[in-house]
Amino acid sequence: MKSINKYIIRQLLISSLVIGFVMTGVIWLFIAVRAIEHIVNRGVSVNLFLYLSMLQVPNFLVHIIPFSMFIATIFVYSRLNSDREIIVLRAAGLSPISLAKPALIVCFFAVLFGCFLTLYATPKS
């Protein structure tokens, strides 16, 4: 694998993980705010709340992964474009398909992880 592909894959992974964690945190906070009533009024323990909210994480990760991958891909390639790295790579002889390979590789593994969540983790939770 070319070093440029490794560089783009690393940038895509870092960006998608950060975006995914932020989106997961925001959605989890919405769940926590809605559940405060149950914690305060009905005497549900905090441990039970944390356990139940962690069981819901695979459910919304299935929806977060595609959005985080899309946003990360747009972010990384637009940054490469604004830094004129894509122009240099195209001048060096890389085709548009070879520039897209890192994103396709990362998205393929994201799809596999999404399938794992959908077919195994979500039904178990």
Mean pLDDT on 80-94: 89
Q: How far apart, in whole angstroms, are the C-alpha atoms of residue 63 and residue 69?
A: 11
Taken in order 47, 51, 53, 54, the sign of the CA dihedral is: positive
Neighbouring CB atoms inside 10 A of 119's CB total 9
Res. 13 pLDDT band, cuts 50 70 90: very high
pTM given for the model = 0.83
Tell me which of 28-32, 80-84, 112-116 is least confident.
28-32
What are the domain boundaries of the chain?
Answer: 3-124
Please write the tens of the pLDDT for every residue from 25-46. Answer: 999 888 888 877 777 777 777 7
pLDDT at 1: 62
Tell me if residue 106 falls in helix, strand or coil.
helix
Neighbouring CB atoms inside 10 A of 16's CB total 23
